[in-house]
């Protein structure tokens, strides 16, 4: 993973390590199952995204990176946006 971040995305080594640590932190926080442990979206976006994806996996049982997971997430987002659009 470090090689991908440093070579493919040209992140400095220390930044790549920090990014991996932040993602792992979000996963660990999600494993608690408590919404109070959700990272702040603006202060720690990497931890927030990893927290949300892990919660999706825990709640639905589908890996968000799998074909089924992507379809479930796409359908949920589309429905949420439609409800919000027509609610106004």
Q: How confident is the model at residue 16 (pLDDT cuts 50, 70, 90)?
A: very high
Output DSSP code: residue 65.
T
Examine the pLDDT at 49 and tell me if it is beyond 80: yes
Give the chain's domain count.
1
Examine the pLDDT at 13 and tell me if it is beyond 90: yes
What pLDDT is stored for residue 88 in this prediction?
A: 64
Helix and strand numbers, DSSP H then E, in the chain: 4, 0
In residues, how long is the chain?
88
Say if CB 47 and CB 25 are below 8 A apart: yes
Examine the pLDDT at 62 and tell me if it is beyond 90: no
CA 2 – CA 11 distance, rounded (Å): 9
Domain that holds residue 36: 2-87
pTM (2 d.p.)? 0.73
Instruction: Specify burial of residue 44 (Cβ count, 10 A radius: 0-12, 13-18, 19+).
Output: middle
What pLDDT is stored for residue 83 in this prediction?
A: 86
| Tens-digit pLDDT profile for residues 32-42 | 988 999 999 99
**In this structure, what token pair is assigned to residue 73?**
């997430």
């Amino acid at each position: 993973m470090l090689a991908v971040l440093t070579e493919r995305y040209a992140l400095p080594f220390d930044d790549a390590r920090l990014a991996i640590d932040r993602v792992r932190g979000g996963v660990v926080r999600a494993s608690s199952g408590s919404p109070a442990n959700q990272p702040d979206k603006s202060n720690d976006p990497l931890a927030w995204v990893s927290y949300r994806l892990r919660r999706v996996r825990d709640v639905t049982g589908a890996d968000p990176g799998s074909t089924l997971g992507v379809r479930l997430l796409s359908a949920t987002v589309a429905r949420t946006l439609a409800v919000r659009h027509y609610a106004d």
